[in-house]
């Protein structure tokens, strides 16, 4: 067996994926899998979507990169579309979700400094995941992923998710922002109370704090709205996204409105690759396809149907603790660790994920058919029943 030249950051991997089309991928042995994970919420349009492929090819023939020292037409067009869809005012493009969150945290700190707070603090939540850079790792509320990387960046306080009173109690004179995921993804597809974001918005308004929403995983139509906060009829001060934005090309975005949109000025922040012509043209095509093909609305209706189907089949199953989600972001929490279901599903030609140790996480492409959705439900139900 050939020894890999890659660092062992992902553990043992035995399957090599070589191509994809629609909601399916194939491995090097020719075996086909139905993908219920979308590259961890990235390929919302599935694989080999013609509009995205065409946009990449056309832009590659013209200009792949020119740096942000110059105006970039696809970047301007994508920015305008995202501002329109989000209700925000300005956008900064990065290469990843972690970098988008870094930009959001820099906005929070500089906002605090402008108010005379020399040691700005940001409140985040337990079981959150905001990235693996040093600042976003420090913001993350998961000790396991932070172990061994101390000392961490100071200025973060972690409180219980979905608990407004915990935020009030943890706040200090140095608090400048609250940063949460509308639905915790890596933490186990944790869905808060329906008015949680509304309460956060009101509290931040009361205290003069920024409300930062990490929509790296929930954005781009995944929950049945372009952004999850739109279910609540509010606007955050800052919202970040990545994953599904480019349908596979590496791009992230930090959007802001009001005072937050004016915090970063020339020289405060930048990126060599962020928002280059190639990734922006691909993301522009992907975002337009979500709209043109009405996939956001379909995510809402199909996700609801899948959720109800799971509840009907598994509600009286002793091993099942909870079934939750919104749109095509579904979690099935079991009463014991269930990591072995990933390999078991692969044997049945289905790709799934287990997060937080005991929660089956489903993030299928938004383009899946009714038949494919039914196949995902029936296969996962069978796997869980076999696990009892």
| Average pLDDT score over residue span 174-197 | 98
Specify the pTM. Answer: 0.97
Q: Which candidate in 92, 226, 227, 243 is catalytic?
A: 243
Question: Is residue 78 a contact partner of residue 245, using CB atoms and an 8 Å limit?
Answer: no
| Average pLDDT score over residue span 309-321 | 96
6-15, 120-129, 290-299: segment of lowest average pLDDT: 6-15
- Residues 256 and 304 reside in one and the same domain: no
Question: Is residue 221 a contact partner of residue 44, using CB atoms and an 8 Å limit?
Answer: yes
Phi, psi of 170 (to 5 degrees): -85, -15
Q: Which candidate in 35, 92, 110, 214 is catalytic?
A: 214
Question: Is residue 96 a contact partner of residue 242, using CB atoms and an 8 Å limit?
Answer: yes
| Site of tokens 């899948």 | 306
Q: Which candidate in 93, 129, 156, 227 is catalytic?
A: 129
Catalytic residue status for 243:
yes
What six digits make up the tokens of 309? 């189907």
The predicted pLDDT at position 37 comes to: 98
* Beta bridge pairs of residue 33: 25
- Distance, CA of 44 to CA of 35 (rounded, Å): 11
Provide the residue range defining the domain that includes 331.
17-48+294-387
Query: Of all residues in the chain, what percent carry a pLDDT higher than 90?
Result: 98
Q: Is residue 290 very low, low, confident or very high in pLDDT (cuts 50, 70, 90)? A: very high
| Site of tokens 């396809």 | 289
Half-sphere exposure of 333 (CA within 13 A, CB side): 13
| Average pLDDT score over residue span 176-183 | 98
Q: Which residues contact 25 (CB under 8 A, 6 or more apart)?
A: 17, 19, 32, 33, 35, 47, 351
- Residues 283 and 304 reside in one and the same domain: no
| Average pLDDT score over residue span 65-81 | 97
pLDDT tens digits along 237-285: 999 999 999 999 999 999 999 999 999 999 999 999 999 999 999 999 9
The predicted pLDDT at position 3 comes to: 75
Q: Evaluate whether residue 5 is within a structural domain.
A: no
pLDDT tens digits along 319-378: 999 999 999 999 999 999 999 999 999 999 999 999 999 999 999 999 999 999 999 999
- Residues 31 and 88 reside in one and the same domain: no
- Mean per-residue pLDDT of the chain: 97
- Residues 306 and 266 reside in one and the same domain: no
- Residues 207 and 197 reside in one and the same domain: yes
266, 292, 318 - which closes a domain? 292
Catalytic residue status for 129:
yes
Catalytic residue status for 92:
no
Could you report how far apart the first and last alpha carbons of the chain are, in Å?
Answer: 36
Return the H-helix or E-strand segment holding 346.
helix 341-347
| Average pLDDT score over residue span 63-72 | 97
Question: Is residue 241 a contact partner of residue 97, using CB atoms and an 8 Å limit?
Answer: yes
Residue 1 has pLDDT above 70, yes or no: no
Burial of residue 315 (CB within 10 Å: 0-12, 13-18, 19+) is: exposed
Residue 144 has pLDDT above 60, yes or no: yes
The predicted pLDDT at position 347 comes to: 97
Parallel, antiparallel or unpaired: strands 359-362 and 330-334:
antiparallel
The predicted pLDDT at position 388 comes to: 83
What stretches of the chain adopt beta strand conformation (E)?
17-21, 24-27, 32-35, 90-94, 121-125, 156-159, 175-180, 210-214, 238-241, 252-256, 320-325, 330-334, 350-351, 353-355, 359-362
* Beta bridge pairs of residue 19: 26
Q: Evaluate whether residue 59 is within a structural domain.
A: yes
What's the CATH code of the domain at 381?
A: 3.90.1150.10
- Residues 41 and 119 reside in one and the same domain: no
- Residues 362 and 226 reside in one and the same domain: no
| Site of tokens 């609250």 | 178
| Average pLDDT score over residue span 138-146 | 97
| Site of tokens 């915090």 | 263
- Residues 282 and 183 reside in one and the same domain: yes
Cα 248 from chain centroid?
A: 13
Count of structural domains within the chain: 2
Q: Which residues contact 118 (CB under 8 A, 6 or more apart)?
A: none
Q: Evaluate whether residue 7 is within a structural domain.
A: no
Q: Is residue 383 very low, low, confident or very high in pLDDT (cuts 50, 70, 90)? A: very high
- Residues 257 and 170 reside in one and the same domain: yes
Please, what's the b/e burial string for 251-282 (b: 16 or more CB within 10 A of its CB; e: otherwise)? bbbbbbbeebbebbeeeebebebbbbbbbbbb
Residue 2 has pLDDT above 70, yes or no: no
pLDDT tens digits along 16-31: 999 999 999 999 999 9
- Distance, CA of 164 to CA of 142 (rounded, Å): 20
Secondary structure (3-state) at 377: helix
Task: Supply angle C-alpha 180, 181, 182, rounded to 5.
Answer: 110
What's the CATH code of the domain at 131?
A: 3.40.640.10
């Amino acid at each position: 067996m050939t020894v890999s030249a890659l660092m062992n950051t992902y553990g043992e991997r035995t399957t090599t994926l070589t191509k994809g089309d629609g909601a399916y991928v194939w491995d090097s042995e020719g075996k086909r899998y139905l993908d219920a994970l979308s590259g961890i919420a990235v390929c919302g349009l599935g694989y080999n979507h013609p509009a995205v492929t065409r946009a990449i090819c056309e832009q590659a023939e013209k200009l792949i990169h020119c740096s942000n020292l110059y105006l970039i037409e696809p970047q301007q067009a994508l920015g305008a579309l995202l501002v329109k869809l989000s209700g925000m005012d300005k956008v900064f493009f990065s290469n990843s979700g972690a970098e988008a969150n870094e930009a959001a945290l820099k906005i929070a700190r500089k906002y605090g400094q402008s108010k005379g707070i020399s040691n700005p603090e940001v409140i985040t939540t337990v079981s959150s995941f905001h990235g693996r850079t040093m600042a976003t790792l420090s913001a993350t509320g998961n000790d396991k992923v932070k172990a061994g990387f101390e000392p961490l960046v100071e200025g973060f306080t972690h409180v219980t998710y979905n608990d407004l009173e915990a935020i009030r109690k943890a706040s200090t004179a140095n608090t400048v922002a609250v940063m949460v995921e509308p639905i915790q993804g890596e933490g186990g597809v944790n869905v808060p109370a329906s008015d949680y974001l509304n309460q956060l918005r009101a509290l931040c308004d009361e205290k003069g704090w920024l409300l930062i929403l990490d929509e790296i995983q929930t954005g781009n139509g995944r929950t049945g709205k372009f952004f999850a906060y739109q279910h609540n009829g509010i606007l955050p001060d800052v919202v970040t996204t990545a994953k599904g934005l480019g349908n596979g090309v590496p791009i992230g975005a930090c959007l802001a409105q009001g005072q937050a949109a004016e915090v970063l000025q020339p020289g405060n922040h930048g990126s060599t690759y962020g928002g280059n012509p190639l990734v922006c043209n691909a993301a522009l095509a992907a975002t337009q396809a979500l709209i043109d093909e009405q996939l956001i609305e379909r995510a809402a209706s199909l996700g609801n149907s899948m959720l109800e189907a799971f509840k009907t089949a598994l509600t009286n199953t002793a091993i099942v603790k909870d079934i939750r989600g919104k749109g095509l972001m579904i979690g099935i929490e079991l009463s014991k660790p269930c990591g072995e279901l990933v390999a078991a599903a692969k044997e049945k030609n289905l790709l799934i994920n287990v997060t937080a140790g005991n929660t089956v996480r489903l993030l299928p492409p938004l383009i899946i058919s009714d038949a494919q959705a039914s196949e995902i439900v029936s296969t996962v139900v069978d796997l869980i029943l076999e696990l009892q």
